[in-house]
Chains A and B, each alone.
Chain A
Amino acid sequence: MKSVSPLIRGWLSLAIGGIAAYIIGMGLVFAVSGSWTYVHLVPILFATFGGAMAYAWGAAGISPLTKGLIWMNAGALGGFALGLMIDWLVQGSLDWAAPIASLFSLLAGFTAFFLGVAGLNAVSKGLLWQIGGTLLGAIFISAIRVAMGLTWSGPFLFTEPAWVLGGFMGVLFFLGGNGAVSDWFKWARGMDTPEHHEETHTGWVKYLNISFDHKVIGIQYTIVALFLISVGGLFALIFRTELAASQLQFLTTDIKLFGQNGPQLYNTFMSLHGMIMIVSILLGMAGITNFAVPLLLGAQDMAFPRLNSFAFWISVPATVLLLMSLILGGFDTGWTGYPPLSARAPVGMQMFFLGVFTSGWSSILGALNNIVTVIRMRSKGMTAFRMPIFVWAAIATSIIALTATQFIGLAFQLVMFQRLFGMGFFDPAQGGNPVLFQHLFWFYSHPAVYVFILPGLGVISELLPVFARKPLFGYRWIAMSSLAIALVGFLVWAHHMFASGMNEYLRVPFMYSTLLVAIPTGVKFFSWVATLWKGKIWAPTPMLFVLGGIVVFLLGGLTGPPNATVSTDLHLTDTYFIVGHFHDTIFGGFVFPFFAAIYYWFPKATGRRMNEALGKLHFWLMTPAFFVLSFGMMRIGLLGMRRRIVDYDPALNFDYTHLVMTVGGFLIAISVLIFIYNFFNSIKYGEKAEGNIWNSRSPEWQVASPMPAHNYDQPFEVVGEPYDYGLPGSKYVEFAAPAKATTHHKGEN
């Protein structure tokens, strides 16, 4: 086998291992149930995870990844068996679809993976502590309940209050156990710690451990974001498959999984797709900002390195909580979690609330750190209007994330308390007001969409001059437009509620304030087009994604005013048109720029570049597929397709459009898989790129990649405008001593 290439060995093992695991799974199902009811689920899971393990083993032998996957599979099986046993002891019957078995399987599998990869590290330690904390909290409440003469067991083993305290304590234990807060505890006891710790781990293991280096944290964020994008995308594929034709074929009523039948699973997947994607966007943008902002400012690190690390690590237990919500009965409210429905949904709703609340803290603390860094850590000569334009976008985003996020946290907390203690905030029977929830919720959740897109638009403005070789048109206007969007964004929330029954006189002011957002957004488009005008446009992969982002975001922008205008919105509310509009803005404002940023800064992080051919394939596959998907959404939406429903009337004649959209969705998934392959493969095998491969004026490209722990060896001073591409003799930064640039500028600057 030695002479065969690793790739072929990998694929061969995948085929053999996958088929073998599938057969084992089928045999197991048959042995237990005597029928083939679950044929499409258990064997597929076996084939997927067994196949992955076989692939890793075939391609690279017993590598850390192979070990991780072996441990994961063993852990998942062991956890499943343990959960099943507990369930049998409590319920007295064996139910293979019992949520508790799946939950143990998920947690044990996750933890075992990280244990297998690198033994005890911050992730595996944290997860072990989280499991312990969750059980401890749940058992504590259960003990109190028993002492009070109440029942301790519920449909998901423990009762709801027990799960809530358990989930909360799980987060605290994770953070306490993995070392994210140990420096703070030392400070509290009056001990001193060095401002920067020496990196104790080298190579890829440092990404699994606590690090205060903003570049490491940026990459940690990005990888968790990519994981969540994959999970959220997988959920989308599942419910999109069900929607491919009218009637129920895939998520049928006779399926039973995690205590839910097919249509209930549809609701949970649809709801979690929304929130998991939102969290992944927040983490993805936090990743880019964390990595880029200190480099762009010439700072050694973020202002608060420990807080930075804490804000990242809190997002890991939050991710686990969000996944737990799927298993603990799910929920059916959509990502918005409106009461009164959310006051009645299963326990999964509470895990969802807790997960969002926790990840909200990640967002708040990251934003705080960002603002302070920009205000306090700029290098010499970097006045406000000489900052890179991406920094302005990051500031605008951070202002929203810092303040408004508290409102969604509060809204969700109030529903949690309503469920736990019967506090009737949103219960009309007690005099409560469900519309109040919507106000609190949208006061964050509308500005939040600007949190999603502003950094992306900043990436577009940042990269466009590099690849058009021209000054950025209207720098100050763009800088101000980011702030304007952020501030106006605070005044528009009730446009989500035109059909909610709120006071009618509120509609018109909110309509106009919403339409006002088009002005600063228009400023950005004007500037982008003017920057491209007569530029020497050069289109490697990052630029392709920038251009794609501009076009897609334009589509999202143009479909906005019909939703903002009361008369048309009353027709469009809760239709697929809204879904299409939203996906346009988020793909244009986040997904495309996010990929652009990764392709662009990847060499800075790794010293290698991602494969261009695969990058272009990714772009040319994803872009048309996305257009098909979003145009399809808007078409059927205009014709009256409701959003969030598992089935539709065949007489509406939407079957064909839905089928095409589903194909589009799968093509996007394939393109993202190509990207992920390219990402991880290029870390090790990518073409070396240590110099200024984009010929950028930005300071981080004037030194060799990858950069050392504290960034610049010599401080630099800003001596000119940031985007004067093509102006002979102009300079943006000057290093104190000759910088170690490996590539010198040729010809134009």
Chain B
Amino acid sequence: MSHHQNKSAAYGQGMVIFIYLAALTALEYFIAVTFNAVSILVVVALIKAALVMYYYMHIYKLNEDSDDDIHSYAYKTGTNRLGLWLFLLSDAFVFAGLLTTRINLLGLTRPHLNQILGLAVTALLLISSFFMNRAETAMTHGDKKGFITNALITLVLGLGFLLGVVAVEWPLAAAEGLTASSGTAGAVFYMLTGMHAFHVFTGLIFLLVIINNARKDVYSADQHWGVEAATVYWHFVDLVWIFFYPALYLIGKLL
């Protein structure tokens, strides 16, 4: 891991990107409640995705030159990184298939959902991504304590998102008549949020693992592939929600 920036500059960058993402999310919501232009919502989502992939997931590291010695940690990390991104590419096809299903079945309509709750869980996940980025930055600079603090905050926020969707949003929707078997809108809603929640759940397990291992001093500033992998995976889960949130809550007319 090369140190391109000092720690406070890296923290600052994470903060700036977070502000952009938050502003774009607010913009999305504003567009949705005013003139609901799908094309603009798609563009905004793509911009958010690009920001997350570049600044939070560091996709450019795939291109990083690594050591020529294939037994070195750096070379192996390069190999692992490629494997992880290919896995995410594969996983992205699951979510692409789900979006296809949603577009095919619901078109420009959407189910009746609690907008405030939707915005709240989206905010939780976005803030968790911000703290995840801080955690990784801390680890990159050898700050174990900072890593654990930030990762724990991420964990709590992620758990909040998961419970917000599964334990609050689902029963609320069901109480209003939107159940899994009430029609395609319900089927799509539970399938999309369910598949995403499953990924959040696995991400939380991953977080627990790296926090525990950090406590055991498994990672160092130079060697922490596990932390990087969990971080990239966590941001990927956020990335998916960048598309799922407008697809479920914002796009189209109410059914």
Instruction: Determine whether B159 belongs to the interface, using a CB cutoff of 8 Å to chain A.
Output: no
Q: Report chain B residues within 8 Å CB of A404.
A: 93
Does the CB pair B101–A375 fall under 8 Å?
Answer: no
CB distance from A125 to the nearest CB of B (A): 25
A381 at the B interface (CB under 8 A)? no
> Which B-chain residue is minimally distant from A398 (CB atoms)?
B86
Interface size on B, residues (CB 8 A): 34
- B190 smallest CB distance to A (angstroms): 7
Say how far A195's CB is from chain B's closest CB, in angstroms: 8
B219, closest chain A residue (CB): A190
Q: Is the CB of B93 within 8 A of A403?
A: yes
Tell me, yes or no, whether B78 is within 8 Å of chain A by CB: yes
Bound complex: CA A375 to CA B104 (Å): 37
Candidates B83, B94, B97; contact of A304 at CB < 8 Å: B83
User: B90 at interface (Cβ–Cβ under 8 A)?
Assistant: yes
Nearest residue (CB) in A for B206 is A188
A436 to B89, CA, bound (A): 22
- Chain B stretch 173-219: residues in CB contact (< 8 A) with chain A: 180-181, 183-184, 186-188, 190-191, 209, 212-213, 216, 218
> Are B86 and A371 neighbours in the complex by a CB distance under 8 Å?
yes
* 6 smallest beta-carbon distances between A and B, as pairs: A422-B181, A423-B187, A406-B93, A410-B97, A190-B213, A190-B218
B183 touching A403, Cβ below 8 Å: no
Instruction: Decide yes or no whether A327 CB sits under 8 A from chain B.
Output: no
A369-B184 Cα distance, complex, nearest whole Å: 37
5 of the cross-chain contacts (CB-CB < 8 Å) are A303-B79, A376-B70, A376-B75, A423-B190, A424-B181
From B93, B104, B183, B226, name the one whose CB has the most chain A CB atoms within 10 angstroms. B93
Give the complex CA separation of A372 and B209 in angstroms.
25
In the bound complex, residues from chain A placing their C-beta under 8 Å from that of B101 are 410, 414, 425, 436, 440
Q: Is B166 an interface residue (CB 8 A)?
A: no
Q: CB < 8 Å: which of A376, A414, A423, A433 contacts B181?
A: A423
CB-based nearest B residue for A371? B86
Given A188-B209, A371-B86, A440-B101, do A406 and B94 touch, yes or no (CB 8 Å)?
A: yes
Quick check: A433 and B104 within 8 Å, CB to CB? yes
Q: Is B114 an interface residue (CB 8 A)?
A: no
B100 CB-CB contact with A under 8 Å: yes
Which residues of A sit under 8 angstroms from B97, Cβ to Cβ?
Answer: 406-407, 410-411, 440, 443
User: A177 contacts the other chain (Cβ, under 8 Å)?
Assistant: no
18 new A-B contacts, CB < 8 A, other than A406-B93, A425-B191, A433-B104, are A189-B213, A190-B213, A364-B90, A368-B87, A369-B83, A372-B82, A402-B89, A406-B97, A410-B97, A417-B180, A422-B181, A425-B187, A431-B183, A433-B105, A436-B105, A440-B97, A440-B101, A443-B97
- In the assembled complex, the Cα of A372 lies from the Cα of B82 at a distance in Å of 7
* CB of A377 closer than 8 Å to a CB of B: yes
User: Are B78 and A403 closer than 8 Å at their CB atoms?
Assistant: no
Give complex CA distance A371, B181 in Å.
Answer: 41
- Segment 411-437 of A: residues with Cβ below 8 Å from B: 411, 414, 417-418, 421-425, 430-433, 436
Which residues of the partner chain B approach A423 to less than 8 Å between Cβ atoms? 180-181, 186-187, 190-191
Bound form: Cα–Cα A76–B42 in Å: 58
A409 at interface (Cβ–Cβ under 8 A)? yes
Please measure, in the bound complex, the distance between the C-alpha atom of A418 and the C-alpha atom of B188, giving whole angstroms: 11
- Decide if A436 touches B104 in the complex (CB within 8 Å): yes
Look across to chain A and name the residue whose beta carbon is closest to the beta carbon of B104: A436
Taking beta carbons and an 8 Å cutoff, which residues of B are in contact with A?
A: 70, 75, 78-79, 82-83, 86-87, 89-91, 93-94, 97-98, 100-101, 104-105, 180-181, 183-184, 186-188, 190-191, 209, 212-213, 216, 218, 226
Which residue in chain A gives the minimum CB-CB distance to B213? A190
> Complex: how many Å from CA A371 to CA B86?
9
B83's partner among A368, A418, A424, A430 (CB-CB below 8 A) is A368
Interface residues on A, range: 35 or more
Chain A residues in 8 Å Cβ range of B191 = 414, 417, 423, 425
Other-chain contact of B70, A377, A407, A411, A443 (Cβ < 8 Å)? A377
Who on chain A is nearest to B86 by CB? A368
Pair B79/A410 contact, Cβ less than 8 Å: no
* Residue with the greatest number of chain B CB neighbours at <10 A, chosen from A187, A307, A409, A424: A424
Chain A residues with Cβ below 8 Å from B79 are 303, 372, 376-377
With both chains docked as a complex, state the minimum distance between the C-beta of A612 and any C-beta of chain B, in angstroms: 40
Known: A410-B97, A425-B101, A425-B187. Is A403-B180 also a contact (CB below 8 A)?
no
In the complex, the answer to whether B91 meets A376 with C-beta atoms within 8 Å is no
How far is B75's CA from A402's CA once the two chains are assembled, in angstroms?
23
Cβ–Cβ contact B86 & A402, under 8 A: yes
Closest chain-A Cβ to B216's Cβ sits at a distance in Å of 5
**Shortest beta-carbon distance from B227 to chain A in Å:** 12
Given known contacts A424-B187, A430-B183, A440-B97, A372 and B86 CB-to-CB distance under 8 angstroms: yes
Complex Cα gap A418–B70 (Å): 48
**Contacting residues, chain B, for A407 (C-beta < 8 A):** 93, 97
Partner of A376, one of B78, B87, B94: B78
A187 to B209 CA separation, bound complex (whole angstroms) = 9
Task: Please measure, in the bound complex, the distance between the C-alpha atom of A188 and the C-alpha atom of B213, giving whole angstroms.
Answer: 8
Q: How far is the CA of A187 from the CA of B230 in the complex (A)?
A: 13
Q: Are B93 and A424 in contact (CB under 8 A)?
A: no
B66 to chain A minimum Cβ distance, whole angstroms, is 9
In the bound complex, residues from chain B placing their C-beta under 8 Å from that of A403 are: 89-90, 93
Query: With a CB–CB cut-off of 8 A, which chain B residues contact A418?
Result: 187
The chain B residue sitting closest to A406, CB to CB, is B93
A411: which B residues are within 8 A, CB to CB?
97
Q: Which of B75, B104, B187, B212 contacts A190 (CB 8 A)?
A: B212
In the complex, the chain B residue whose C-beta lies closest to that of A437 is: B101
| Beta-carbon contact of A368 and B94 below 8 Å | no
A189→B212 CA distance, assembly (Å): 8
* Residues in chain A near residue B209, CB distance under 8 A: 188
CB-CB under 8 A from B86, the residues of chain A are 368, 371-372, 402
Contacts of A371 in B (CB 8 A): 82, 86
Cα–Cα, bound, A364→B183 (Å): 32
In the complex, the answer to whether B98 meets A432 with C-beta atoms within 8 Å is no
Provide the residues of chain B in CB contact with A432, threshold 8 Å: 105, 184, 187
| Nearest CB of chain B from residue A446's CB, rounded to whole Å | 15
Bound Cα distance A418, B213 (Å):
40
Closest to A422 in B: B181
Instruction: Tell me, in angstroms, the Cα distance from A376 to B91 when the chains sit together.
Output: 22
Give complex CA distance A216, B181 in Å: 48
Judging by beta carbons under 8 Å apart, are B94 and A409 in contact?
Answer: yes
Query: Which residues of chain B are within 8 angstroms of A409 by Cβ–Cβ distance?
Result: 94
User: How many angstroms from the CA of A430 to the CA of B87 in the assembled complex?
Assistant: 34
Inter-chain CA distance A430–B180, complex, in Å, is 11
Most chain A C-beta atoms within 10 Å of own C-beta, residue among B79, B101, B104, B105? B101
Q: Which residue of B lies closest to A364 (CB)?
A: B90
Q: Do B184 and A424 touch (CB < 8 A)? A: yes
A430 touches which of B94, B187, B213 (Cβ 8 Å): B187
A236-272 CB mask vs B (1 if < 8 Å, else 0) is 0000000000000000000000000000000000000
Q: A404-B93, A440-B97 are in contact. Are A425 and B83 (CB under 8 A)?
A: no
For chain A, residues 273 to 325, give those with C-beta under 8 angstroms from any C-beta of chain B.
303-304, 307
Distance, CA A377 to CA B184, complexed state (A) = 47
A443 vs B101: C-alpha distance in the bound complex, in angstroms?
Answer: 13
Which residues in A have their C-beta under 8 angstroms from that of B89? 402-403
- Determine how close the nearest CB of chain B comes to the CB of A339; give it in whole angstroms: 13
B171 to chain A, nearest CB (A): 16
Q: Could you say which of A304, A368, A405, A440 contacts B100, with CB atoms under 8 Å apart?
A: A440
Most buried by B among A307, A405, A406, A417: A406
Roughly how many angstroms separate A737 CA and B89 CA in the complex, as a whole number? 41
A430 to B31 Cα, complex, angstroms: 31
Residue contact A376 to B105, C-beta cutoff 8 Å: no
Q: A372-B82, A423-B190, A425-B187 are in contact. Are A406 and B180 (CB under 8 A)?
A: no
Contact A372 B105 (CB under 8 A): no
